[in-house]
Amino acid sequence: MLEQIEGSRAVAKTVARCRPEVVCAYPISPQTHIIEAIGALVRSGELARCEFINVESEFAAMSVAIGASAAGARAYTATASQGLLFMIEAVYNAAGLGLPVVMTLANRAVGAPINIWNDHSDAMAVRDAGWVQLFAETNQEAADLHVQAFRLAEELSVPVMVCMDGFVLTHAFEQVDVPEQDLVDAFLPPYEPRQVLDPADPVSIGAMVGPEAFEEVRYLAHVRQLAVLEQIPVVAAEFERTFGRRSGGLVSSYRAEDAEVVVVALGSVLGTIKDTVDERREQGERIGVVGITSFRPFPREAVRQVLSAARQVVVIEKAFSIGFGGVLATDVAMALQGLPPEVVSVVAGLGGRPITTVSLRRVLQAAVNDRLPPLTFLDLDEDLVRHELERMAATRRSGPTAENLLRDLGVPSGHIG
Amino acid sequence: MRRDLLPTDAVAAGGTPEAADTGAGTSGAIGDDPGAGRQRLRFYQVGSFAVGNRLADPSQRTVQSDATRSNSLDSGHRACQGCGEALGARYALDAAMRAAGGQLVAVNATGCLEVFSTPYPETSWRIAWLHSLFANAPAVATGVAAAMRVKGRSDVRVVAQAGDGGTVDIGFGCLSGMFERNDDVLFICYDNEAYMNTGVQRSGATPSAARTATTEAIGPDPGAPFGQGKDLPRLAMAHGIPYVATATVADLHDLEDKIERATLMRGARYVHVLVPCPLGWGTASADTIAVARLATQTGLFPVYEAKNGSVTSVSKIRRVQPVEAYLGMQKRFAHLFGTPGRPDIVARIQAIADDSIARFGLLDSHAGEPAERGAR
């Protein structure tokens, strides 16, 4: 049933219908509405047989989830940004232990400077942790991906992170068909762990492994991720059969079949990009869009197939590897090895800066005219940057640049101190 | 003949186990608690104060003397000779297993205990056991306890264990959170007073003046600084949790009794066990029990129980010892002795012991004041 609902609440209701048995919560913007809503559902009894635990840190949140999952309970938590980085050791640990924890990541920039708004730096920081990372384009997809996430996690004994853009999705009210309880129950069987902490059948979990087998353990984790890659389309197809709508999968493609220029992106910005592409198509430019839903495992083959006919691939991403460039662009370029498309990287929307159709139009025009350099920073305030660079050249000293920039902009907080 | 191999003086002290209680035991024993019967037993061997077992009724003997004990931490592990932590963990978990009727799950922090017990592909654990990380054992245990609750397994007890680093330093955030929420977890700290697994570096539990690899015995203020360090049992008490106790590997009856009592309680429980480390303390492997006992008999390590934030019983010092007797056995304090030695520093440590004795009332009036400290 369609309802007008905030993204966070839609996700909370969906997670509740997945019947998690242990939910651990530590608040961080922009994740708060999700855990608040789940807490209320537990309090009201709507989500029965669930332990809702207010922990003292994100590190504890993931650790509680690890303990609960190892003891055979379906475990869920949610975080963002600094919180994800604070729990990163446990994030790796959950994957290493093969525990099917599901976590929502309300994507947010990572400081310093502290910034609560949306980008994908947090997700990229744990790219190599061994988690499945699924990116939602809309709130409907964010809700649906959670149902699929539990299914994938428990079938393949791997933790799954559902990434949804902070504020842009979490705080947006739009129509969502929250997955119905009976359909979720049909789609998602109860959690039956392959190994569990049981006094009747005692096992040791988490032993030390030295050089004699560590590489093999890691290789097998990779093999498991490749199995996830095969299972994601299967689960998405079954989801479509059960719920009657498409959600998830490895990649999504929009008007890309005959496109000379294809834009690749993660998450909610795909909507703005599609609008811009529609407009450019009317001008006769052959532009298409490909969204990466499964960022980890990375769908190399699917990306190759969908992009092989393009002349140029423009990867627009809300994160980058400082000192190098685009992260997603690197993965896309690797996937296209030996194929003709040129891959360029456009870093955009950092720290919540809006990615507007006006700016996108400029980028796409440059791409069509082959004038896009390998690395572009969209809407960079070049005067501001130049001013600071000149100052740095004049007075060499260490320290943060953020305060100087704010002072130049005349932002009141720049005058503090 | 070694003095600690002499026959017990229990009979001399009163003839029957019950009578032995009045001579040397605890004050304020908690009569209605499980295991209290065994707690009343106090057999002291002549000279060494070792606690004996042989004259007790079988029902009052230690878990360790029970042929059907669970051997939770089985032989074959890689601990050093004389390892106090291996002893402590075995004593504690066998007692917990007996109290829980075998329905036990243990969570282990990273550290010596984890490393020496589970070198892949082997394990010494005969219980359900999970190691996750260094800092998160309390939170992982909270998760296990939550899972057990939601699954209706109220019979299963959850124990978390860590060394002093995993407890007072890196794990303290998670531990304090677990305490504050009063989660249904028994947390056991095996305190050997430094990071032994990584090569004897200072922790927040390292005593003043002790040499470690990061507090070398060099310069005018050798060893670990004074005025630092965390008293975790008292911090645990400040959380108001149902049960806090200290114990050592030197008094098996007392340790097992406290673990059994704690296992059967609900909510957050904390037991802090002093476990000497021959490697890090520079003691002979055969002296682990003797040095642990001296830690208590000097007053430096007070042995007590607390409920809901208040001390309810203390183990009295039977014959108080000067700190020199304890420090002198350990190479980590060797810089305090010899010529010229550092009698000024020894005096500061004695003052710490005297404060501890006064704070916890560790001396019976008839046992004499600290000044009447007897020779060993």
The count of domains in chain A is 3
Least confident of A121-130, B41-50, B90-99, B106-115: B41-50
Query: Residue A330's domain spans which residues?
Result: 251-377
CA separation for the pair B370, B118 (Å, rounded): 45
Question: What does the pLDDT read at residue B58?
Answer: 78
Contacts of A376 (CB under 8 A, 6+ apart): A344, A345, A346, A347, A363
Kindly state whether residues A303 and A398 are assigned to the same domain: no
Question: What does the pLDDT read at residue B60?
Answer: 80
Last residue of a domain, one of A243, A268, A284: A243
Q: Which residue of A has its CA nearest to B104?
A: A199
**B105 by DSSP, 3-state: which?**
strand
Kindly state whether residues A211 and A256 are assigned to the same domain: no
Query: Checking DSSP bridges between strand A375-377 and strand A342-347, what pairing results, if any?
Result: parallel
Give per-residue pLDDT as tens, B110-132.
Answer: 999 999 999 888 999 999 999 99
- How confident is the model over A343-352, as a mean pLDDT? 98
Contacts of A165 (CB under 8 A, 6+ apart): A106, A107, A118, A136, A267, A268, A269
CB contact (8 A) between residue A63 and residue B146: no
pLDDT at B2 > cutoff 90 = no
Question: What does the pLDDT read at residue B23?
Answer: 33
Last residue of a domain, one of A211, A243, A275: A243
Give per-residue pLDDT as tens, B130-172.
Answer: 999 999 999 999 999 999 999 999 999 999 999 999 999 999 9
Contacts of A42 in chain B (CB under 8 A): none
Query: Checking DSSP bridges between strand B304-307 and strand B243-248, what pairing results, if any?
Result: antiparallel
Hey, what amino acid is at A111?
Answer: G
List, by residue range, all CATH 3.40.50.970 domains of chain B.
Answer: 67-372
Contacts of B54 (CB under 8 A, 6+ apart): B8
pLDDT at A25 > cutoff 90 = yes
pLDDT at B11 > cutoff 80 = no
Calculate helix-pair angle for A139-156, A7-17, nearest 10 degrees: 30
**A371 by DSSP, 3-state: which?**
coil
Long-range contacts of B211-217 (CB under 8 A, 24+ apart): B211/B331, B211/B332, B211/B333, B211/B334, B211/B335, B212/B280, B212/B332, B217/B334, B217/B335
What one-character DSSP code corresponds to residue B168? Answer: I
Least confident of B30-39, B72-81, B218-227, B241-250: B30-39
Kindly state whether residues A117 and A262 are assigned to the same domain: no
Question: What does the pLDDT read at residue A289?
Answer: 98
**A153 by DSSP, 3-state: which?**
helix
pLDDT at B49 > cutoff 70 = no
CB contact (8 A) between residue B139 and residue A75: no
Strand order in the sheet with A312-317: A251-254, A287-292, A261-265, A312-317, A342-347, A375-377
Kindly state whether residues A123 and A263 are assigned to the same domain: no
Question: What does the pLDDT read at residue B14?
Answer: 33
Contacts of B174 in chain A (CB under 8 A): 56-57, 59-60, 63
Which A residues 208-227 touch B at CB under 8 Å? 208-210, 212-213
Contacts of B126 in chain A (CB under 8 A): 202
CB contact (8 A) between residue A208 and residue B139: no
Question: What does the pLDDT read at residue B10?
Answer: 33
Shortest distance, CA B58 to any CA of chain A (angstroms): 27
Which A residues 92-151 touch B at CB under 8 Å? 93, 97
Q: Does B162 touch chain A (CB under 8 A)?
A: no
Question: What does the pLDDT read at residue B36?
Answer: 52
Closest CA to A133 of A103, A110, A154: A103
CATH code, domain carrying A173: 3.40.50.970
Kindly state whether residues A225 and A276 are assigned to the same domain: no
- How confident is the model over A57-66, as a mean pLDDT? 98
CA separation for the pair B234, A2 (Å, rounded): 56
Kindly state whether residues A109 and A224 are assigned to the same domain: yes
Q: Does B76 touch chain A (CB under 8 A)?
A: no
Q: Does A48 touch chain B (CB under 8 A)?
A: no
Q: What is the mean pLDDT of chain A?
A: 95
Q: Does A57 touch chain B (CB under 8 A)?
A: yes
Least confident of A36-45, A251-260, B282-291, B361-370: B361-370
Tell the CATH topology of B67-372. Answer: Rossmann fold (3.40.50)
CA-atom Rg of chain B in angstroms:
20
Kindly state whether residues A316 and A209 are assigned to the same domain: no
pLDDT band per the 50, 70, 90 thresholds, residue B25: very low
CB contact (8 A) between residue B143 and residue A64: yes
Quickly tell me which residue has 């075998």 as its tokens.
B102
Give per-residue pLDDT as tens, B308-356.
Answer: 999 999 999 989 999 999 999 999 999 999 998 999 999 999 999 999 9
CA separation for the pair B195, B136 (Å, rounded): 17
Share of chain A above pLDDT 70, in %: 98
Shortest distance, CA B370 to any CA of chain A (angstroms): 43
What one-character DSSP code corresponds to residue B219? Answer: S
Give per-residue pLDDT as tens, A172-221.
Answer: 999 999 999 999 999 999 998 878 999 999 999 999 999 999 999 999 99
pLDDT at A330 > cutoff 50 = yes
CA separation for the pair B141, B183 (Å, rounded): 9
Question: What does the pLDDT read at residue B287?
Answer: 97
CB contact (8 A) between residue B142 and residue A59: no
Question: What does the pLDDT read at residue B42?
Answer: 59
CATH code, domain carrying A276: 3.40.50.920
pLDDT band per the 50, 70, 90 thresholds, residue B30: very low
Q: What share of chain A is helix, strand, coil (3-state, %, to 5)?
A: 45, 20, 40
- How confident is the model over B291-304, as a mean pLDDT? 97
* Cβ neighbourhood burial of A89 (10 Å; 0-12, 13-18, 19+): middle
Residue B189 CB neighbour total at 10 angstroms: 29
C-alpha distances out from residue A328 to A79, A123, A333, Å: 22, 11, 9
CA separation for the pair A377, A105 (Å, rounded): 25
Kindly state whether residues A204 and A256 are assigned to the same domain: no
Give per-residue pLDDT as tens, A111-149.
Answer: 999 999 999 999 999 999 999 999 999 999 999 999 999
Identify which of A93, A203, A208 has the shortest CB distance to residue B132. Answer: A93
pLDDT at B8 > cutoff 70 = no
ipTM of the complex: 0.95
CB contact (8 A) between residue A205 and residue B127: no
Question: What does the pLDDT read at residue A399?
Answer: 74
Determine which helix (DSSP H) or strand (DSSP E) holds B136, and give its type and residue range.
none
pLDDT band per the 50, 70, 90 thresholds, residue A394: confident
CA separation for the pair A127, A161 (Å, rounded): 11
Last residue of a domain, one of A195, A212, A243: A243
CB contact (8 A) between residue B144 and residue A90: no
Q: Does B128 touch chain A (CB under 8 A)?
A: yes
